[in-house]
Amino acid sequence: MEPVSSAPDAPARDASSLDVERLRADFPILSEEVNGEPLVYLDNAATSQKPRQVLEAISGYYASDNANVHRGIHELSRRATDAFEGARQRVARFLGTEDPGEVIWTRGTTEAINLVASSWGGANVGEGDEIVLSDMEHHSNLVPWQLLAARTGARLRFVELADDGTLALEGLAELLSERTKLVALTQVSNSLGTINPIREIADQVHDAGALLLVDGAQGAAHAPVDVASLGADFYAFSGHKMCGPTGIGALWARRELLEAMPPYQGGGEMISLVERHASTWADLPHKFEAGTPNIAGAVGMAAALDYLEGVGHHQILRHEQALVAHAMERLSQVEGLRMFGPADPTRRAGVVSFVMEEAHAHDIATILDSKGIAVRAGHHCTQLVMKRYGVPATARASFYLYNTHEEVDRFADALGRVQSIFG
């Protein structure tokens, strides 16, 4: 995902053509009241809300097709298997690959990265080898590599953060060497909103002979992904941040990489022949899918991808950037408020992270909650980011396709109230 710039004289309000009022009607939860006020849901980087179409796909699957997959020869098992494998094909199409065998179902981004660290890392990384990460990474794209480094004696190295919340990429060349086995970076920062120039980074990584893992947890939600043109070797993402259910996500990798990797977990489904002391493995993708999978989750994730395609997935980032521009303008008028991340909204996805001089991030979130406004406060599982900017926590508003400019105004008005209580 490259930055989306609006035309210089485009109206600041909204350059997208999303019909937000019509979309909002698809999300039952958005008509809830919270603490006596209409809900303003601005915690989308944690998880998105789910449209009726996804809820109906999940309940329809359980109501009419439920059975275990790849097992029975009965009709329901056939239907469940078709729905499950059809969902895999849907994810493959979303990622721009024609080979559904390259799509491994996981619980989400976290499990996808752990799979790579454990299986690929265990087979390919040894003492003295290096893995390059950045100070922007979610703990999901940091701790699995720390565990691998502790097991193997490999060394972790870090791309630093510049003052403006972008990666200090001028330092990348120095970090890459013949010892570098893998570079693992997020596509979009969950705590700063920064969109990273993955395509350019990919060329540098490949020139150095290393592989590139892209954490797409925050990237896939905002714009369509084409793994080949992105230059990723591994791509990990979660359904729940893109209108799908929790507990389902996927790892994509090139077939030859997956073929060469050992299994991640052992159990049913992932074997071909089992004897007392040895077994052989099933073909891709089943080699990496031990046990009964999250069938309804896969069905829901496919429905979410259909939904996003239907509304115009390529429009979402532009809509969020219009909301971010509006929010940044309003927040810049609140006394004692400091924002983090790129000043240019076209270099961000829909995230605004900030602190206020007098109020702790948790106090801000509590006061906003009393007005029906949901934001997240804390380190956002990015403690290296907090350390870099010298704060223990930030408050974070994160926008999605169904958020409106009126909601941004309610949020900013409520921050004015926080300021008057604490200021």
Nearest Cα neighbor of 423 from 334, 353, 361 is: 334
Residue 386 region, left (φ>0) first, then alpha (ψ -120 to 50), else beta?
Answer: alpha
Q: Interface with ligand 7TS includes 138 (CB under 6 A)?
A: yes
Return the half-sphere exposure (C-beta side, CA atoms, 13 A cut-off) of residue 365: 20
Q: Interface with ligand 7TS includes 285 (CB under 6 A)?
A: no
Among 48, 119, 134, 140, binds ligand 7TS (CB under 6 A): 140
3-state DSSP call for residue 116?
A: helix
Among 186, 196, 315, 403, binds ligand 7TS (CB under 6 A): 186
Minimum distance of ligand 7TS from residue 382's CB (angstroms):
8
Residue among 48 and 119 whose Cβ is closer to ligand 7TS: 48
Minimum distance of ligand 7TS from residue 349's CB (angstroms):
10
Listed ranges 138-146, 156-164, 204-212, 322-330: which one lies at the site for ligand 7TS (CB under 6 A): 138-146
Q: Interface with ligand 7TS includes 328 (CB under 6 A)?
A: no
User: Do residues 406 and 373 make contact, with C-beta atoms less than 8 angstroms apart?
Assistant: no
Q: Interface with ligand 7TS includes 110 (CB under 6 A)?
A: yes
Cα distances from 211 to residues 234, 261, 329, in angstroms, run: 8, 14, 39
Q: Interface with ligand 7TS includes 48 (CB under 6 A)?
A: no
Among 45, 201, 243, 414, binds ligand 7TS (CB under 6 A): 45
One-letter amino acid identity for 304?
A
| CA dihedral of 269, 270, 271, 272, whole degrees rounded to 10 | 80
Residue among 109 and 315 whose Cβ is closer to ligand 7TS: 109
Sheet of 351-356: strand order equals 337-340, 351-356, 394-398, 376-378
Give me the catalytic one of 381, 391, 404, 422.
381
The dihedral through the CA atoms of 257, 217, 24, 53 has a sign that is: positive
Q: Does 243 participate in catalysis according to the annotation?
A: no
Minimum distance of ligand 7TS from residue 398's CB (angstroms):
8
Q: Interface with ligand 7TS includes 201 (CB under 6 A)?
A: no
Residue among 108 and 285 whose Cβ is closer to ligand 7TS: 108
H or E stretch covering 243: none
Listed ranges 90-98, 202-210, 310-318, 374-382: which one lies at the site for ligand 7TS (CB under 6 A): 374-382
The 10 Å CB-count burial string (b at 16+, else e) for 319-331 is bbbbbbbbbbebb
Site map for ligand 7TS, 225-264, x if CB under 6 A? -------------x--------------------------
Phi and psi of 359, rounded to 5°? Answer: -110, 135
- Count of residues near ligand 7TS by CB under 6 A: 17
Among 88, 318, 330, 380, binds ligand 7TS (CB under 6 A): 380
Site map for ligand 7TS, 330-369, x if CB under 6 A? ----------------------------------------
Residue among 110 and 180 whose Cβ is closer to ligand 7TS: 110
Residues in contact with 159: Cβ distance below 8 Å, sequence separation at least 6, in sequence order: 132, 133, 134, 135, 136, 167, 168, 169, 171, 172, 175, 185
Among 214, 217, 373, 377, binds ligand 7TS (CB under 6 A): 217
Residue among 144 and 345 whose Cβ is closer to ligand 7TS: 144
Following DSSP, what letter does each residue of 372-384 receive, concatenated? TEE-EEE-TT-HH
Q: How far is CA 288 from the centre of its chain?
A: 21
Among 16, 218, 321, 353, binds ligand 7TS (CB under 6 A): 218
User: Do residues 374 and 125 make contact, with C-beta atoms less than 8 angstroms apart?
Assistant: no
3-state DSSP call for residue 162?
A: coil
Listed ranges 51-59, 144-152, 211-219, 275-283: which one lies at the site for ligand 7TS (CB under 6 A): 211-219
61: its two tokens: 């699957």
H or E stretch covering 87: helix 75-95
Residue among 381 and 391 whose Cβ is closer to ligand 7TS: 381
Active site residues: 381
Chain residues binding ligand 7TS by CB under 6 A are: 45-46, 108-110, 138, 140-141, 186, 190, 215, 217-218, 238, 376, 380-381
